[in-house]
A and B are shown apart, each in its own frame.
Chain A
Amino acid sequence: MTGGGVSGSDMPSLPWTARPDVSGVEDTSVEALLSGSGLPAGADPELRPVADVLAALSARPAGDELTGLAAARAEFRRHVAGPAQMRPSPRRRPGGLASRLGVKVGAATALVIMTLGGAAAAAYAGVLPGSWQQFAHRTIGAPAYRADRDRRAGAAKAGPAVPHSGHPAHQTYRSGPPARRWSQHHAGPPHHLLPPAARPFVHYTRPPGARPVRNALVRPARYGTDRRPAARA
């Protein structure tokens, strides 16, 4: 406070006013008494009886201070010891890491089995992609890849098939091997660029006297109709 044009000598010299009720006892003596280390040498003799009182407070327990142990132990058995025995501690659990690894390995094995099983089922149903279906055909004897399945799927997306028009691109269900039929079907410009009369279509015909094919992949009723849609008439 020497700034602001006021010299230090102008400031009143106030004595440090200690708390009158606290100043009588030194901090070191109080701390020594409270921490139980005894009264230090040179301490105020007035504190000697106080030290004795505090020592009496920390004396050995009397008999009436030890009642209630049975009730506390019963409560401990009910809430801590009992549940602790129910759950195995990590030390008692044999092969805890191994069991945890076993669970993981088991889960992975189950996942692999389910994946392979699903793939095998799909292969036998013939719904795998081409190369996969062929691989399944060679390895586990699943049905061979049927190209017409994809073709029919594409036709189903493009709309209803038009009836037989006598166009050279017209094919029958049993004309040639699948690969040949696939190449014929996809030869030339894209279908949507052709005039309607020149668009190829799939027309499944059944030879006279032949039994209908019981195959989920063949749906003659849908693709073998001669009805022309009303919009295209």
Chain B
Amino acid sequence: MLAAAQHGSEAAFTRLWLDANPALVRYLRVIAPQAADDAAADTWVQVVRGLPRFRGDEAAWRAWLFTTARRRVIDASRRRSRRREEPLDDLPVAALPVTADAADEAMERLGTRSAITLLARLPRLQAEVILLRVVAGLDTDSVARLLERSPGAVRVAAHRGLRRLAEILTEAGVTL
């Protein structure tokens, strides 16, 4: 499918997009909640332009897609920092104010949005590791390269993130 898209097949590219974009948007809604849609559009523009020159399999392409998205978010954040504008989405995810009933709301309907809201309460690294592993489907080594961390650090972050998530759910009184 990737090779066909690289050779100009729009149908193959559409399938790639339909497969990857929901995961991309979910990832961006955690690391850049106020600009997720714009960041996703910018990411696709850059990925499409580099598509003919990409070399690798679909797993590598998926990792490249999320790497591009993450860099777009970081670059946009730096540009806004240089302009000394501090919108709310520049703040770390963990520093964002969370409504007190976020966990309760998530428990009422464990939809995707609620799960993303819950995950946004985790520290940035832990949330990114869990999203890249679960949503993007990347393995530990790929996540480590993407985040520029060691595989051990990625595993520890995953452990801590899941444990913290369990604590949040327990605090909300959820026992399934």
Contacts and interface: CB of A to CB of B under 8 A. Distances in A.
Which of A21, A33, A75, A85 has the most chain B CB atoms closer than 10 A to its own CB? A75
Interface string B147-167: 000000001101110110110
Interface stretch (B72-80, B82-90, B91-99, B112-120): B112-120
B48 interface: yes
B35 interface: no
Chain A interface, DSSP helix/strand/loop, else mixed: helix
Given A34-B133, A52-B110, A59-B111, A25 B163 contact: yes
Interface residues of A, number: 44
Chain B interface, DSSP helix/strand/loop, else mixed: helix
Interface residues of B, number: 53
Nearest to A23: B159
A56 to B, nearest CB: 4
Interface in B38-94: 40-41, 44-45, 48-49, 51-52
A214 interface: no
A69 interface: yes
Contacts of A206: none
Interface in A19-44: 19, 21-22, 24-25, 27, 30, 33-36
A57 B29 CA distance: 12
B176 interface: yes
Contacts of A30: 155, 158-159, 162
A46 B131 CA distance: 20
Contacts of A83: 8, 52
Which of A53, A67, A83 has the most chain B CB atoms closer than 10 A to its own CB? A53
